[in-house]
């Protein structure tokens, strides 16, 4: 988690520096006529959302016919940092962490709660923002995800190891501007996330795949620097 804190601190310092530079550039072009330059819009934007994580209940243990898996849903805060290359094109880094309880289904339903894992899924998307609707600014995006599984705890299993993996992401949402800086946001993302796992039950080691494929549904506030 130290690298995540370091990245966040570096981004915050960049945001502060960008804001200070923008303030220095907002100078009058002709003081005698009282004409001022418009303040240059900052390319940086952040969002803070409440995020619902809704997983697909799918997966299996390779050597056990009829096996299935289900996962708990959760609600968690999410921080997003965007950089606008143009008025329409932006990149967004999505940061948040949550957990999932893993439960056996089908032929392994008798195992009940197999274990619990925490996941950190930083996701980078490239977005296109539509700017022809006034204060209402919808957008679409697509990108990549790398999910880190940590603090893994076995339940009915003797041992559980879900492996870190890459995935892809699709995104749609909108901002509604309240003024030059503040707005409200609604956002839906779909992550395609199918990590492999190793599990040991009653001394027998098995492998499998957890097909999480979560929907991430969020709402919150937007701030443009």
pLDDT of 22 over the 60 cut: no
Do 141 and 125 meet the contact criterion of CB atoms below 8 Å apart? yes
pLDDT level of residue 35 (50, 70, 90 thresholds): very low
Taking only the tens place, the pLDDT of each residue in 53-62 is 999 999 999 9
Please state the rounded mean pLDDT for residues 124-134.
Answer: 97
pLDDT level of residue 222 (50, 70, 90 thresholds): very high
Q: What is the pLDDT of residue 32?
A: 52
Average pLDDT score over the chain: 88
d(CA 225, CA 206): 51
pLDDT level of residue 39 (50, 70, 90 thresholds): low
pLDDT of 1 over the 80 cut: no
Predicted TM-score (pTM) above 0.95: no
Instruction: Tell which wins on pLDDT, 9 or 180.
Output: 180
Query: CA distances (Å), 211 to each of 131, 162, 180, in order?
Result: 36, 11, 42
pLDDT level of residue 41 (50, 70, 90 thresholds): confident
Q: Which residues pair with residue 150 across a beta bridge?
A: 118
pLDDT of 31 over the 90 cut: no
Do 113 and 72 meet the contact criterion of CB atoms below 8 Å apart? no
Instruction: Tell which wins on pLDDT, 22 or 155.
Output: 155
Please state the rounded mean pLDDT for residues 155-170.
Answer: 97
d(CA 25, CA 37): 9
Residues in the chain: 225
Q: What is the pLDDT of residue 20?
A: 46
pLDDT of 33 over the 80 cut: no
Distance of CA 154 to the CA centre of its chain: 26
Do 205 and 214 meet the contact criterion of CB atoms below 8 Å apart? no
- DSSP per-residue letters across 164-183: PEEEEEEEEEEEEESSSSEE
First to last CA, the chain: 27
Please state the rounded mean pLDDT for residues 150-174.
Answer: 97
d(CA 169, CA 193): 9
Q: What is the pLDDT of residue 18?
A: 44
């Amino acid at each position: 988690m130290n690298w995540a804190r370091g990245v966040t601190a570096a981004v915050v310092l960049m945001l502060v520096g960008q804001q200070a530079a923008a303030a220095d550039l907002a100078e009058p072009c002709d003081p005698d006529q009282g004409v001022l330059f418009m303040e240059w819009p900052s390319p940086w934007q952040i969002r803070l959302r409440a995020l619902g994580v809704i997983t697909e209940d799918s997966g299996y243990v390779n050597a056990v016919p009829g096996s299935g898996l289900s996962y708990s849903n959760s609600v968690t805060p999410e921080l997003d940092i965007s950089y606008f290359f143009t008025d329409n094109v932006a990149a967004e880094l999505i940061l948040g962490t949550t957990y999932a309880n893993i439960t056996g289904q089908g032929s392994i339903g008798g195992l009940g709660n197999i274990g619990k894992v925490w996941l950190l899924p930083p996701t980078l998307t490239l977005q296109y923002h539509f700017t022809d609707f006034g204060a209402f600014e919808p957008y679409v995006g697509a990108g990549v995800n790398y999910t880190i599984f940590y603090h893994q705890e076995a339940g009915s299993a003797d041992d559980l190891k879900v492996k870190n993996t890459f995935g892809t992401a699709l995104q749609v949402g909108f901002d509604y501007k309240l003024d030059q800086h503040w707005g409200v946001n609604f956002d839906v993302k779909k992550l395609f996330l199918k990590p492999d796992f190793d599990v040991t039950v009653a001394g027998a080691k098995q492998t499998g795949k957890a097909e999480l494929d979560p929907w991430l549904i969020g709402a919150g506030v937007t701030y443009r620097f």
